[in-house]
């Protein structure tokens, strides 16, 4: 190496001087553009390093694709199999829940369960408040002239607000549910526990009358139960924020109202509620046996007049069948009664001699007529002449 440098000493010194000069010019010279100016050394450095960085990025992306597409997916087959089993289980659970819901609707219809539905509301605007911490109420611009009465529930689109405390001709006073004298029948959405929502002197909302041995979780929704006969069932009241043991046998449950009671501007007053009873026809399809029972004809009773007339003429169907076996018994519609055409022997009568024509009774549609029977083709055996007795 030393021999090579000593041999080409002048060339090496020239190359070094040129490199230093070019490097100094690259540091000093700037390439100007419309937006900014960049030193030439930076442009050369970026141009030299960029291909290397692109290669490293391509290599890293290729390795990552191989990892994500092949090596990392080794357990995907088992995961898909587990997901399929979970889907099948959820489908069975859905079918079971659908059957239970259908059965509940049928039982509800059979028991004649009644539910209250909001039929008519009146929109009102808040025009004032009580202005006292002891009484939390508001005043609205609708009164008895618009159909508002004392005790009617007041709600918003978010949830329960309160009830009408006093109704005047053009205004009404509404007692908010966070007032300490108010009370709303409540029902927990998941656990189905019932209690009473009341206000506190500080303006908070609490749920009372829930036993301490019950499990109540924070975040559960509180709905109206309908037991107070004021609010319909199922309206949102609020959400449970805190649960703690109370001084007695009840829990201390704090509720955050869904309606912003401190920023009320418009409210709805429920002026009319209707009770609707679920019908059995709404619970599901009608059974096939019920459809057949409605469409098939039913057996009607025999008319009393035709039965008496037939009994008077022929002495009843059983008596006519015993006396004249070859006759057709009358039916319930008054069919004709006549002798069988296969009779070949002579007809005998206690009042007429042999060979004499015997009157036959024919009943057609309740009418009685006598028709003479012709003599038989076969001659009867000779017998002593008898005289017809006068009738």
Q: Which residue is it, tokens 């960029």?
A: 50
Q: Give domain status of residue 1, yes or no.
A: yes
CA distances from 349 to 72, 123, 319, 337, 385 (A): 113, 99, 18, 19, 15
Least Cα distance to 175 among 146, 135, 217 occurs for 135
Determine which helix (DSSP H) or strand (DSSP E) holds 56, and give its type and residue range.
Answer: helix 40-66
Residue 26, classified by CB atoms within 10 Å of its CB into exposed (0-12), middle (13-18) or buried (19+), is middle
| 95 and 22 within one domain | yes
pLDDT of residue 343: 45
Confidence of residue 284 (pLDDT cuts 50, 70, 90): low
SS3 277: strand
CATH number at residue 135: 2.40.10.340
Work out the average pLDDT over 66-95.
83
**Which of 72, 93, 113 is at the close of a domain?**
113
Burial of 310 (C-beta count, 10 Å sphere; 0-12/13-18/19+): buried
Residues 6 or more apart whose CB falls under 8 angstroms from that of 190 comprise 217, 220, 221
Q: Which residue has the higher pLDDT, 79 or 221?
A: 221
For 286, other C-beta atoms within 10 Å of its C-beta total: 10
Which of 80, 113, 146 is a domain's end point?
113
Residue 110 has pLDDT above 90, yes or no: no
Overall domain count for the chain: 2
Domain span at 63: 1-113
Q: Give the Cα separation of 342 and 337 in Å (integer).
A: 15
- What is the arithmetic mean of pLDDT over 74-103? 88
Q: Taking 80 as the threshold, does the pLDDT of residue 165 lie above it?
A: yes
> pLDDT tens, 14-56?
788 888 877 777 777 776 676 677 777 777 777 788 888 888 8
Do 49 and 144 fall within a single domain?
Answer: no
pLDDT at 360: 43
Q: What is the pLDDT of residue 63?
A: 78
Domain match, 122 and 265 both? yes
Is position 6 within any domain? yes
DSSP string of 236-265, one letter each residue: EEEEEEEEEE-SSSBEEEEEEESS-TTS--
pLDDT at residue 198 is higher than 50:
yes
Token output for 340:
């069988």
Question: Do 82 and 143 fall into the same domain?
Answer: no
Could you say which of 230, 255, 276 is where a domain stops? 276
Residue 50 placed within a domain = yes
Residue 350 has pLDDT above 50, yes or no: no
Residues near 196 by beta carbon (within 8 Å), at least 6 away in sequence: 183, 184, 185, 186, 207, 208, 209
Q: Which helix (H) or strand (E) holds 371?
A: strand 367-372
Whole-number Å distance between alpha carbons of 148 and 216 = 37
Q: Which DSSP helix (H) or strand (E) runs through 126?
A: strand 114-129
319-333 average pLDDT score:
44
Measured distance CA(199)–CA(184) in Å, rounded: 10
- Share above pLDDT 70 across residues of the chain, in percent, rounded to a whole number: 64
pLDDT in tens, 300-312: 455 555 555 555 5
Average pLDDT over residues 336-346: 43
pLDDT at 278: 56
Q: Which spans in 271-371 are helix H?
A: 288-295, 304-314, 317-323
Two structure tokens written together for 373: 């029977």
Q: Can you give the pLDDT at residue 72? A: 67
| Burial of residue 53, with CB atoms counted within 10 A of its CB: 0-12 exposed, 13-18 middle, 19 or more buried | exposed
This prediction has a pTM of 0.48
Three-state DSSP state, 197: strand
- Answer yes or no: is 341 within a domain: no
pLDDT attached to residue 368: 40
The pLDDT of residue 124: 94
The answer to whether residues 135 and 41 belong to one domain is no
Q: What is the pLDDT of residue 167?
A: 95
The pLDDT, as a whole number, for residue 178 is 93
Beta-strand relationship, 266-277 and 114-129 = antiparallel
Q: Which two tokens stand for residue 199?
A: 């206000």
User: Which residue is it, tokens 């408040």?
Assistant: 129
Which pLDDT band, with edges at 50, 70 and 90, does 196 fall under? Answer: very high
Q: Does 264 lie in the same domain as 123?
A: yes
pLDDT at 150: 94
Mean pLDDT (the chain) is 75
Q: Are residues 91 and 147 in the same domain?
A: no
Q: Residue 383 domain-assigned?
A: no
Q: Is residue 282 part of a domain?
A: no
- Residues 351-381 pLDDT 10s: 444 444 444 444 444 444 444 455 445 555 5
pLDDT confidence of 265, banded at 50, 70, 90? Answer: very high
Do 120 and 238 lie in one domain? The reply is yes
At residue 355, the pLDDT reads 44
pLDDT at 236 over 90: yes
Domain match, 81 and 148 both: no
Question: Do both 108 and 120 map to the same domain?
Answer: no
Q: How confident is the model at residue 2 (pLDDT cuts 50, 70, 90)?
A: low
- The band of 65, judged by pLDDT with boundaries at 50, 70 and 90, is confident
Beta bridge partners of 115: 276
């Amino acid at each position: 190496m030393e021999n090579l440098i000593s041999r080409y000493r002048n060339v090496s010194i020239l190359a070094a001087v040129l490199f230093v000069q070019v490097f100094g010019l690259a540091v000093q010279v700037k390439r100007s553009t419309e937006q900014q100016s960049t030193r030439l050394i930076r442009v050369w450095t970026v141009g030299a390093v960029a291909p290397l960085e692109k290669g490293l990025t391509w290599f890293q992306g290729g390795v990552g694709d191989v990892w994500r597409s092949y090596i990392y997916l080794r357990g995907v087959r088992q995961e898909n199999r587990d997901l399929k089993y979970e889907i099948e289980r959820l489908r069975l659970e859905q079918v079971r829940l659908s059957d239970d819901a259908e059965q509940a609707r049928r039982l509800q219809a059979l028991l004649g369960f009644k539910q209250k539905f909001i039929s008519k509301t009146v929109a009102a605007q808040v025009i004032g408040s009580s202005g006292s911490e002891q009484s939390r109420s508001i005043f609205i611009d609708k009164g008895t002239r618009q159909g508002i009465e004392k005790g009617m529930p007041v709600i918003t689109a978010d949830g329960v607000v309160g009830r009408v405390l006093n109704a005047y001709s053009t205004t009404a006073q509404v007692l908010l549910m966070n007032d300490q004298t108010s009370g709303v029948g409540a029902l927990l959405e998941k656990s189905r526990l019932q209690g009473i929502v009341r206000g506190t002197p500080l303006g908070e909302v609490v749920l009372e009358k829930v036993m301490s041995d019950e499990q109540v979780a924070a975040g559960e929704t509180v709905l109206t139960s309908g037991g107070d006969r004021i609010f319909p069932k199922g309206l949102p009241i609020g959400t449970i924020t805190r649960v703690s043991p109370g001084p007695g046998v009840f829990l201390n449950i704090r509720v955050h109202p869904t309606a912003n009671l401190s920023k009320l501007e418009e409210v709805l007053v429920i002026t009319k509620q209707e009770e609707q009873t679920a019908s059995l026809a709404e619970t599901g399809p009608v059974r096939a046996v019920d459809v057949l029972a409605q469409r098939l004809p039913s057996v009607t009773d025999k008319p009393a007049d035709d039965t008496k007339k037939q009994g008077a003429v022929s002495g009843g169907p059983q008596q006519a069948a015993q006396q004249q076996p070859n006759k057709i018994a009358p039916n319930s519609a008054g069919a004709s009664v006549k002798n069988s055409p296969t009779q070949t022997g002579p007809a005998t009568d206690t009042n007429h001699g042999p060979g004499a024509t015997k009157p036959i009774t024919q009943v057609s549609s309740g009418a009685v007529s006598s028709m003479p029977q012709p003599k038989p083709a076969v001659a009867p055996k000779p017998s002593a002449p008898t005289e017809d007795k006068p009738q």
